[in-house]
Structure 1
Amino acid sequence: MFDADRPITLCEQDRLNRSLFAKYLARCLLDHHDLDSLVVGLTGGPGSGKTSLINMMLEEIDVAASNLDEIEQPIILNFSAWSYSGQGQLIYNFFRRLSSTLKPLANFPQGARIIYLLELYVSFFTQKPVPQAYRMQRSFWEKLFFRNRESAYAWESGRDLTLVKAELNELLRQQKHKIIIIIDNISRLYPDEIKQIFQIVKSIGDYKNTIYVLSFDKNQVIQAIDLLDGSGGKALVEKVVQLPFEVPPILSEDLENIFADRLRAVLDMVPEGTWNLDYWASIYYSSLKYFFKNCRDITRYVNTLNFSYPRLRDVVNPMDFFALTAIEVFLPKLYFGIRDNKDLFTDLLDQVYRLDEDQIKKDRLRLEEILSREHDFPHDQIITLLEQLFPRLRRIYEPQLTFYHSDALARKLRRLCSPDLFDAYFRLSMQSGALPENEFKTILGLAKNAQAFDQALTRLNQDDRIIKLLTRLDSRVIASIPLEETQAIIIALFDNGDLFPQGRTGPLILSTAMRIHRIIHNVLQRYKDTETRFTVLQTAIAKAEKSIYIIVHELNEQSREHQEESDRFIPLDYRDLTTDQLLSLKKFTVSRIQNWANTERLIDHPKLLSLLYAWQAWSNDHSCRDYVQRTIKNDKGLVIFLAAGLHEAITEAAEKYEKNPAWESQLKHIADFVDPVELVNRAKAIFEDAYFEKLTEREQLALLIFLDLMKVPTTKLIPQTTV
């Protein structure tokens, strides 16, 4: 599924037409008859294919060597300097590898002497003794009469260093083997290690009959040496490398062919009928193709796509997702900027406020800040790509041009620019559903208009981000909002509160309703007198059409300030409202509850029981009981009423699958409105009727628990089935 970032190893895998050069280079190395050390340099940028070129060269050397006598076959040392980086022993490890490569060779005359001289010579630089395994084997008489004459260090041999190297070179000159030493990935080393490699090649290891093939990024090596010495990096590279070859960047045509081949497996996963070639061509050739500079870039991209697309293919537009993945891989800061600024890249709030010149200017500043996070890619090409993915940006960068964009069509095609689909594209992102500071400020700015702020909250609720907004509002930020704009916040919260997720509750966690109460309380405290607070709440209650429970909850919390037995009781001067004002709001809320009842919406409210209790407690008549009596006259109303009264018992039964004697106390919730005995026969009849099978699980549990608590014997006929 995923491709490792590995170079090719065989000429038959070559897709860049470089195998011919690799073969020619291999033959040239074997045909090189000059006994002096030769240094070949393969230079090029990251991912240009230097290692692949070396592998194809080695393949050709192996083929050619098979036709040579064993005495003439080349000796290959592929030294991975990067494996020893950071150990402070690069020179030591290089010669360990060279000695271990030469030691096992059978057709290597004077091999033991060569290895010993090699180790003796290097010990002068490494300050380490010649390993016991590489020392010359002494005769019995030498061991007997010259017990202390074994040379473990160069200076112990009593010989001049120049003479040691001269003897070593003479022995190597007599060999018919060529020693070819490959050192790849030099650019990845630390600056001091890079310089050591060139020191080995030029002075310590420039032996007869040796050929070095060095692979590195020339610019990086020059910069590393200049960092150490101040200058001279370019001169050193040119002095050491006698035969330089610049590995050219991969041609765009070749990259496109490789890209198409590597992408084929992902394309096979695209749902039928969703791929639009014209749209893809427009995205790819105008901007996306410039992301891919080498095969390594393609590997990174395809691996990321292979990970994420199979999991999201049924909910995203494939062309948009492929383009967004490229941004994620190559421009991660821009990717996070898009993810965290949904309102800027989609028309999330365009139905809320008009995109006038002032707003365009603000949005452009936000876009420029996000674009400034990336410096490695031309901004004009980024903007070209973004305008195709997010048509809204055309209004910001090219307001003089006319173009067609349909929200409905974008939603149908699952486009990234659709606010309803936007979050799905970032579902696998480590952080999703965030509410960035810029978007938060934009939403607060909409409080100038109550309707606009209400619509913004509706959008956030659809995006599952409303709790994040409430969390941000439940802070000192309330104090920074202009006072004249705070009423719009209360109106929107009262109108939408019932639609928000209830949230978890616990000793350390606030429910959504309690969070809203804290926000409203903080807003009310900014008004200096209770009369203004009363007017603000009364207006918000009057305008609330979509919610009713959140109003009841708020007034219940306000009541706790007035109850002496409450832990939140406070003196009159510190309360949000006076007792008369609170009573007036409760009576007004009763009229709103009655309106819900008259429009047959109350029966379907998930907080029916709480609303009935508020209605009954805050009214001076029997209107609530009359409503319950009317509701339970039909079977549906009866079942819903029982489910509301036994809500806690039903929830516990559904979770634990066992009865609890404490459930009996919940019959009080029913008895507070109607005598439970009056409901027994009706409940039993519904249970024993075939209608019972059509009820939801919670409704069935309501009947079962009620009949069990009332100790009613029942008979349930199970319909027979035929095979």
Structure 2
Amino acid sequence: MKNSSFPINAHDEDRLGFSSFAKRVAQGILNYEQQEAFVISIEGKWGSGKTSLVNLIENEIQEEVEVMRFNPWLVADLHQVVKLFFDELITVLSRTSFDVKWNEQIKKDIKTLVSVIAPENVSVSTGMLSATWKLKPKSSPSKTQSLEAIKKSINGYLQGLKRKIVIIIDDIDRLTDKETEFIFRLVKGIADFDNVIYLLLYDKEIVARSLETFKKESGEKYLEKIVQYPLCVPKPHNVTLHGVLHEKLDAILARVKEDRRKVFFDKYKWEHVIRDIVPKYILTMRDVYLLEGTLSFEYPIIAQDVNFTDFFLLSLLKIKNNRLYSEIRDDFSQCVVSPSWNLLDKDKIKKEFETMTQRHLVFGNVLNLLFPMLDSSEFAYGQGFSNKDHGDKYLADPYYFENYFAFSVSDDKLSYGEFRETEKLFQGDDFEVFKQAFLHLYEAKKGAFFIEMANKITLIHSKKEEQKNTFYNAIKMHEYFRVKNKDSTIETPLDSLFLHFSKKMLSNMNNEEFMVAFFTDNVKSATPLWVKMDIFVIMEGYEEEAKQRVHQYLKEKLALLDFWAFLKEEEIFRSVLVNREEFQEKLDQIKEEFKKLIFKDKETFFAIVKGGMYKESISNSKEFCKLMIDLKEIETYIESLDEDLLTEEENELLQLWKGQPKQRPHERKRFFK
């Protein structure tokens, strides 16, 4: 497959409309009838298509002229340049018809001419002529023969040619200053032979600056003395150039999608890219090809864990300003802000970002699109906090930043592929299989990331038949982690994250019949009462009448629990206390029962104190009792107790009541045997 960054060679490969221009230039060359050497320049920036254009010109003229391609950039030094130039010239001459035969005189003329230019060994070899000379340093023409006479002799042979010679010299703008000056001296002062037309390819700005190193005058004025017919590479229409770019980008994205990988793409930001970025920075086919090469190789590797729009912008910086690209890559801290950081941190980063933008002002609009939260200029747009979720995978998201440079996801992060595999189980009807898969992520510290991504992906894209499974799997995981971690000294948010996911999924379903059935049908759902209470208090999106039906059902179920059952059911106890506004009736009922029981006898008193110990949402029994009664009444009762008649366990409970240090989870088990 042809590399699209290579110059084109045929008209059917022409995407930029060079063909008609090439034909007109070719016709001008063929119409040139003068015998004197003629110098044409094809000028354009690197990547503007100079070589492609001259290839098209060559196609048009090669049947009627002899073409010699010469690239001095490929030669090691000036001595080799001279050797190669005349070697290739003789090769061309050997293919051309003469009115006179080759003889020893042309060997002598070439020997003498080359000895003036390159004081070293010179070899020329063709099928017709082979010669090697050992030249003396700083040799010069004989006293009896001037340089002009030598050239006149050579021209005598060249005037007998039936076909002109077109010498194409490419990549002049890649040479050193000394080499550049020598090439123009060679063209205009040494090898300006009759019947020769030169086509010189270069970036005029670079070459003019290089020539000024040796010339006292302006480099451009010097070029005007040498080049008789300057031509500029036609600037392709933006529509054409950008059409090629979009075609190549579409092909890259299509290959990613064919592999069944998701493409994350910010359409709103892309509108800014098309309007403000592409016209300013994508100016030549070289730009298009470099971007295509970078994106086609790097993007598919990490496609599912970056945003394509940001990856495009970063790749643009990589080929246009690698120093800025490296600065972003190597100093994450000067351009990425986390919402959790304090104002001082954010202000510091904003100042560092402004300093970086000033250093690279030309690319300020690219930086402000990549890091919009740090921007205060006209290029900002309403992205908001980039790292608020896992739905966009922006460069400015601290979680995804490194992916853009490592082209991989580190072991402590959740890749999109891992997420999709687990999500399929999340949407399935086998909870145990999903639980094991999720616990595997949990052990790898990726559990919270999964839920965050599910909030942005699964909630939005789940099909109706998958929603119920996902809902039930989420509430079962909420129950699992709530029970699993109730005695843990390390707080985990996973139970809460799953709870809120359940609430959102229930709202998204917008199915009143299912909602009511879930809360009221214990057989099918097998969901504990406290889980239903947790979901109910945060439920949204349903009519008030339906919510009232559910609320009434939950209150009726609570009413069946007497004081001791309520005290024993820790999770229900917690839910009522936390959500007392919704379940105030039950709390009032418990208070009445509490007041009747608390002072019934010593055994009942200590049973209640022990039952209220280490409940979630309260720190100790004193706080629990404070919710039920005036503590002065309990203090009075405690003073009436004879500590000598109390058991060891009862005395320990009193110590805790009086403010002694709490026991650790493993120590409190003795109270709940």
Please list, as runs of the form range in 1=range in 2, the aligned pairs for 1:379-458 lying within 5 A after superposition: 379=364, 381-386=365-370, 390-394=371-375, 405=384, 410-428=389-407
* 1:321 and 2:311 matched: yes
- Could you list the per-position Cα deviations for residues 9-62 of structure 1 after superposition, in whole angstroms to 9, with x for gaps in the alignment? 111111111111111211221221111111111111111111111000011113
Which SS does the other structure have where 1:174 is aligned?
coil
Determine whether 1:36 maps to 2:36: yes
Matches within 5 A, 1:552-567: none
Partner of 1:121: 113
Matched, 1:188 2:188: no
CA pair 289-84 structure 1, distance change in 2 beyond 3 A = same
Q: Would you say the 8 A contact 2:87–2:123 is kept in 1?
A: no
Structure 1 distance, partners of 2:129, 2:283, is 55
Offset of residue 284 of structure 1: 2.8
1:84 corresponding residue in structure 2: 75
Map of 1:6 onto structure 2: 6
Superposition deviation, residue 219 in structure 1? 1.4
Percent of aligned positions with the same letter in both sequences? Answer: 27
Are 1:235 and 2:235 counterparts? no
Q: How far apart are the structure 1 equivalents of 2:239 and 2:170?
A: 27
Matched residues in 2 for 1:274 and 1:403: separation? 18
The one-letter amino acid paired with 1:93 is L
User: Secondary structure of the residue that 2:199 maps to in structure 1?
Assistant: strand
Cα distance change, pair 88–190 in 1 and its aligned pair in 2 (3 A): farther
Contact 2:177/2:211, CA 8 A, preserved across alignment: yes
Aligned partner of 2:209 in structure 1 is 223
Q: CA separation of 1:206/1:157 partners in 2, compared to 1, >3 Å: closer, same or farther?
A: same
Match of 2:248 in 1: 262
Which residue identity lines up with residue 112 of structure 2 in the other structure?
Answer: L
Whether the 8 Å contact between 1:287 and 1:384 is mirrored in structure 2 is: no
The correspondence for 2:340, drawn from 351, 355, 362, is 351
For residue 76 of structure 1, give the secondary structure of its aligned residue in structure 2: strand
CA contact (8 A) 1:2 1:303 kept: no
Structure 2: how far apart are the matches of 1:597 and 1:49? 77
Structure 1 pair 18/196, CA: closer, same or farther in 2 (3 Å)? same
Q: Output the aligned Cα RMSD.
A: 4.2
Which residue matches 1:597?
666
Task: Decide whether the 8 Å contact of 1:301 with 1:325 is kept in 2.
Answer: yes
Q: Give runs of aligned pairs for residues 581-596 of structure 1, distance below 5 A.
A: 595-596=664-665
Alpha-carbon distance between aligned partners in 1 of 2:66 and 2:185, rounded to the nearest angstrom = 22
Question: What is the rounded CA distance, in whole Å, between the counterparts of 1:136 and 1:3 in structure 2?
Answer: 37
Q: Which amino acid aligns with 2:178?
A: D
Give the CA deviation at 1:81. Answer: 1.0
- Tell whether the 8 Å contact from 1:222 to 1:234 is kept in structure 2 after alignment: yes
Cα deviation, 1:540-569, whole Å, max 9, x if unaligned, reads xxxxxxxxxxxxxxxxxxxxxxxxxxxxxx
Cα separation, 1, equivalents of 2:349 and 2:274: 26
Q: Give the alignment of 1:685-704 within 5 angstroms.
A: none
1:166-217 Cα offsets, whole Å, 9 max, x none, are 2221221122120111111111111111111111111111111111111111
What is the identity, as a one-letter code, of the residue corresponding to 1:294?
Answer: T
Counterpart Cα distance in 1 of 2:661 and 2:19? 83
Structure 1 letter corresponding to 2:230: P
* Deviation larger for 175-184 or 98-107: 98-107
TM-score by length of 2: 0.55
* Aligned-partner Cα distance in 2 for 1:282–1:38: 48
Q: After superposition, give the CA deviation of every residue in 1:645-690 in whole Å (9 maximum; x if it has no partner).
A: xxxxxxxxxxxxxxxxxxxxxxxxxxxxxxxxxxxxxxxxxxxxxx
SS across alignment from 2:35? coil
Residues 2 and 306 in structure 1, CA contact (< 8 A), matched pair in contact too: no
Superposed displacement of residue 6, structure 1: 1.6
Q: Per-residue displacement from partner, 1:230-286 (whole Å, max 9, x unpaired)?
A: 434222210110111122443322220111122122111144574454442233323
Mapped partners of 1:230, 1:14: distance in 2:
41
Residues 316 and 424 of structure 1 are in contact (CA less than 8 Å); yes or no, is this contact kept in structure 2?
A: yes
d(CA) in 2 for partners of 1:83, 1:383: 38
Alpha-carbon distance in 2 for matches of 1:137, 1:283: 60
User: Does the CA-based 8 Å contact 1:286-1:385 persist in structure 2?
Assistant: no
Residues 286-315 of structure 1: CA deviation (Å, up to 9, x unaligned): 324422121111222121112221111122
- State the alpha-carbon separation in 2 of the partners of residues 201 and 363 from structure 1: 56
Instruction: Give the C-alpha shift of residue 324 in structure 1.
Output: 2.5
The verdict on how the C-alpha distance between 1:264 and 1:111 changes in structure 2, with shifts beyond 3 A counting, is farther
Alignment of 1:654-665 (within 5 A): none
Residue aligning to 1:45: 45
Alignment of 1:204-215 (within 5 A): 204-215=190-201
- In structure 1, give the amino acid aligned to 2:369: L
Query: Within 2, Cα distance between the matches of 1:51 and 1:6?
Result: 9
Residue number among 334, 348, 351 corresponding to 1:365 in the alignment: 351
**8 Å CA contact retained: 2:353, 2:374:** no
* Cα distance in 1 between the residues matched to 2:42 and 2:89: 21
Q: Judging changes above 3 Å, is the alpha-carbon distance between structure 1 residues 86 and 163 closer, same or farther for their aligned structure 2 residues?
A: closer
The answer as to whether partners of 1:85 and 1:189 remain within 8 angstroms in 2 is: no
Residues 429 and 221 (structure 1), Cα distance of their counterparts in 2 relative to 1, 3 Å cut: farther
Secondary structure at 1:313 match in 2: helix
Contact in 1 for aligned 2:357/2:363 (Cα 8 Å):
no
Paired residue secondary structure (1:314): helix
The AA in structure 1 aligned to 2:240 is: D
Determine if contact 2:78/2:179 at 8 Å carries over to the other structure: no
- Cα deviation digits, residues 558-616 of structure 1 (max 9, x gap): xxxxxxxxxxxxxxxxxxxxxxxxxxxxxxxxx9996142578xxxxxxxxxxxxxxxx
Aligned length: 422
Task: List alignment gaps of at least 5 residues for structure 2.
Answer: 131-138, 413-444, 448-488, 493-659
Change (3 A) 1:91 1:365: same
Match of 1:101 in 2: 92
Deviation at 1:165, TM superposition (A): 1.9
Conservation of the 8 A alpha-carbon contact between 1:91 and 1:196: no
- Deviation string 1:611-633 (CA, Å, 9 cap, x unpaired) is xxxxxxxxxxxx9xx99xx9xxx
1:11 touches 1:56 (CA, 8 Å); kept in 2?
Answer: yes
Deviation string for 1:523-555 (max 9, x for gaps)? xxxxxxxxxxxxxxxxxxxxxxxxxxxxxxxxx
Find the counterpart in structure 2 of residue 518 from structure 1.
Answer: none
Q: What displacement does 1:338 show? A: 3.3
Given that residues 7 and 52 in structure 1 are in contact (C-alpha distance below 8 angstroms), is that contact kept between their aligned partners in structure 2? yes
Aligned mates of 1:324, 1:393 — CA distance in 2: 17
Query: 2:44–2:204: 8 Å Cα contact kept in structure 1?
Result: yes
Query: How far apart, CA to CA, are the structure 2 residues paired with 1:333 and 1:284?
Result: 24
Q: Which residue of 2 aligns with 1:70?
A: none
> Counterparts in 2 of 1:669-680, with a 5 A limit?
none
Which segment drifts farther, 45-54 or 424-433?
Answer: 424-433
- Please tell me whether the aligned partners of residues 369 and 381 of structure 2 are also in contact (alpha carbons under 8 angstroms): no
Residue 180 of structure 2 corresponds to residue 176 of structure 1? no
SS of residue matched to 1:212: strand
Matched, 1:16 2:16: yes
Q: Cα 1:242–1:430, aligned 2, differ >3 Å: closer, same or farther? A: farther
**C-alpha distance in 2 between matches for 1:34 and 1:425:** 59
How many Å separate the matches in 1 of 2:306 and 2:191?
Answer: 59
Output the amino acid matched with 2:118: T
Any gaps of 5 or more consecutive residues in structure 1? 66-72, 139-152, 434-460, 464-494, 499-590, 601-622, 631-723
Name the aligned partner's letter for residue 314 of structure 1. Answer: Q
Offset of 1:80 from its aligned partner?
0.8
Q: State the distance in 2 between where 1:397 and 1:592 align.
A: 57
1:306 aligns with 2:322: no
Number of the residue aligned with 1:74: 65
SS of alignment partner, residue 69 of structure 2:
strand
CA contact (8 A) 2:79 2:118 kept: no
Structure 2 counterpart SS, 1:263:
helix
Look up the equivalent residue of 2:349 and give its one-letter code.
Answer: D
Contact 1:191 1:225 in 2 (8 A): yes
